[in-house]
């Protein structure tokens, strides 16, 4: 059990905020869960409302149970480890690998492999089915992903990803192949996103008051395709919504090659590609999206780490086949 006296502040503040200042190694979301679960007492009385106002001098006690064992079972799998230390691990995720268990994918996920690889060191926060997961990539998106191994690393990384590099040094860039060439070739897409009312499995652009703000910055790196123009884009996220790049680019009329969900109307364009490009696109069998760059501040050492991942073989073959 941890005990502390709330430090003096200007006026009363929320209990969860006060506890986060007292114990910076515990994330605010975890503290909120502990409060709601009855694990926090205020001046000797249990309290379950994280928003209760507390003043300086109040005495609190927090019972922090050991991290719950991860529900997923360990499954040995060869991982492309780009970097690893006692606090975190950076993986180059192949296409087709689901990040964490979900309906329809209870095994064979990156989490299953991480549990086998990291053992007891894997962070217990982030949900029992998502231990250590700070951010995610779609099943069919390849590229770089960082996972926390302990609570302190999880907290530090989560704060950076929540900010999306607006005030910090987080860097995330994706390579995308899209139908056509955006006009202008460099720009920003600022369009709110929400679940589609017609198809709950899809995300849609909606009016600002109906969704969450989403901002994607893009730059056209090259124009490929001899018979049908294909843009090679570098995209940087200012926000990190589900399917953000795929939906934003489709909304602009430039869906990703191979995206059966948001680019189905563009399938006929494939017939106008060269035979080699058509074959490479068919072999790709997924959206042409790759998380190519990942940079962040190490949560313990404060060193800036930056990693680059070349396009995986399936995407590299398509790019080569499209090259003029």
Distance, CA of 233 to CA of 254 (rounded, Å): 11
DSSP string, 146-183: EEESSHHHHHHHHHHHHHTTSSS--EEEEEEEEEB--S
Q: How far from 19 is each of 88, 150, 263, CA to CA, in Å?
A: 25, 19, 47
Whose CA is closest to 88, among 171, 152, 170?
Answer: 152
Residues 245, 270 contacting (CB under 8 angstroms): no
Distance, CA of 262 to CA of 186 (rounded, Å): 22
Residue 201 gets which letter from DSSP?
A: T
Q: How far from 21 is each of 60, 191, 196, 293, CA to CA, in Å?
A: 13, 35, 39, 33
- Exposure of 117 by Cβ count < 10 A (0-12 exposed, 13-18 middle, 19+ buried)? buried
Single out the catalytic residue among 16, 87, 92, 138. 138
Q: Is 138 a catalytic residue?
A: yes
Residues 136, 109 contacting (CB under 8 angstroms): no
Pinpoint the alpha helices (H) of the chain: 15-22, 28-36, 110-118, 151-163, 244-251, 275-284, 313-322
Active centre residues (catalytic): 138
């Amino acid at each position: 059990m941890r005990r502390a006296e709330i430090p003096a502040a200007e006026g009363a503040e929320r209990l969860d905020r006060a506890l986060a200042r007292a114990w910076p190694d515990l994330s605010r979301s975890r503290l909120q869960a502990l409060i709601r679960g009855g694990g926090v007492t205020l001046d000797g009385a249990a309290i379950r409302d994280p928003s209760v106002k507390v003043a300086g001098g109040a005495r609190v006690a927090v019972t922090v149970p050991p991290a719950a064992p991860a529900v997923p079972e360990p499954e040995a799998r060869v991982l492309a480890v780009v970097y690893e230390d006692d606090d975190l691990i950076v993986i180059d995720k192949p296409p087709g690998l689901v990040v964490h268990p979900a309906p329809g994918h209870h095994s064979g996920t990156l989490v299953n492999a991480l549990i086998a690889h990291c053992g007891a060191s894997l962070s217990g926060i982030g949900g029992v089915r998502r231990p250590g997961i700070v951010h995610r990539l779609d099943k069919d998106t390849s590229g770089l992903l960082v996972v926390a191994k302990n609570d302190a690393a999880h907290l530090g990384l989560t704060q950076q990803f929540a900010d999306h590099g607006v005030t910090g040094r987080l860097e995330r860039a994706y390579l995308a192949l899209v139908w056509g060439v955006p006009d202008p070739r460099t720009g920003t897409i600022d369009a709110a996103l929400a679940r589609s009312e017609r198809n709950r499995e899809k995300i849609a652009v909606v009016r600002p008051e109906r969704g969450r703000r989403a901002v994607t910055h893009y730059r056209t790196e090259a124009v490929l395709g001899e018979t049908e123009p294909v843009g090679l884009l570098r995209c940087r996220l200012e926000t990190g919504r589900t399917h953000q790049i795929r939906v934003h680019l489709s909304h602009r009329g430039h869906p990703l090659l191979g995206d059966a969900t948001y680019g189905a109307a563009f399938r006929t364009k494939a017939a106008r590609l060269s035979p080699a490009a058509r074959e490479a696109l068919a072999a790709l069998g997924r959206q042409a999206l790759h998380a190519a760059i990942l940079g962040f501040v190490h949560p313990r050492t404060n060193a800036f780490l930056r990693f680059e991942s070349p396009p995986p073989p399936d995407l590299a073959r398509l790019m080569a086949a499209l090259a003029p």
